[in-house]
Amino acid sequence: MSSILIAAGRALRSLTEPGVLWHLLWPALLSALVWVVLGALFIDDLAAAGEALLPGLPLLGKWFVAGGAWAHLAVSGLLQILLWLLLLPLIYASALLLIATVALPLMLERVSARDYAGLQRRAGGSQWGSLRTSLQAALSFIVLLLLSLPLWLIPGAGLVISVLLSARLNQRCFSYDALMNHADADELVLLPQRCKTDLRLLGICAGVLAFVPVLNFVVPAWSGLSFVHYLLEALRRERARPLKDIPQE
C-alpha cells in the first residue's frame, strides 16, 4: 500500500510540472467533447430503437404495452439516462487510449529524466507495442461493456461494472507504456505480473475517481503517471536481483 501512495503522490507532483498537465489533460477534454456531441446526435434515436424492441420481450413487453403512455414515458426516460451514463466509461476509455498511445510516451521522457535518471534503459518495448496493447485493451473493454449492458438495469451494477472494467483497462494500457523504455523484454512481462495486485488496486482507485465530477478530467492523466512512478520505482528495486528468479503469481 505504501508503494501505491508514494506513486500517487509523485503523480500529483508530476502533474504540476510546466507543460505536463496540458499534454495529459487534452485527451480527456477531446474525448468528452466527441462523445457528448455523438450523444446529443444519436441518443434519442438509440433510446427509441430500444423502446421499439420492448413489446417483443417476454414479461417486460406485456407490461410496456399495458402501461400505455406512462410506461412509454418511464421507459424512454430510463433508456436515455442509461445511455448517457454509458458515455462516462466510453469517455474515460477514449481518454486513456489517447494518453497511452500519444500523450504519455511524450511525457515519459520528462518524468523519467527527473525522477529515474539513474535507471538503465533497456528498450524492451516500442511505440508499435504500445499502440497494439492499447488497442487490444480498448477493444476488450468495449466488448465486455456491451456484454454487461443487461446488468445495468440492476441498481448500482452499472457503476460497479464501469469501475472494474476501467481498472482492467488502466492496468493493461499503462503497465506496458510505463516500462517500455526502461525494461527489457523479460522485465516488461514479469514485473507487471509480480505487481499485479497493487496495479489492480491502483486501477480501481482511478476507476472510482473517474466518476467524481471535475476530477474525472484529470484522473486519466494522474492514473497514467501513477503507473509510471509505481512501475519505474518497482523496476529500480527489482534490478537488485534477476527477474527470472522472481516467482510469477
DSSP conformational letter for 116: -
Within a 10 A sphere around the Cβ of 103, how many other Cβ atoms?
22
Predicted confidence (pLDDT) per residue in 164-213, tens digit: 888 888 888 888 888 888 888 888 888 988 888 899 999 898 888 877 87
Each residue's pLDDT tens digit, 201-241: 998 988 888 778 777 778 888 888 899 999 999 998 888 76
Say what the pTM is. Answer: 0.75
d(CA 67, CA 62): 8
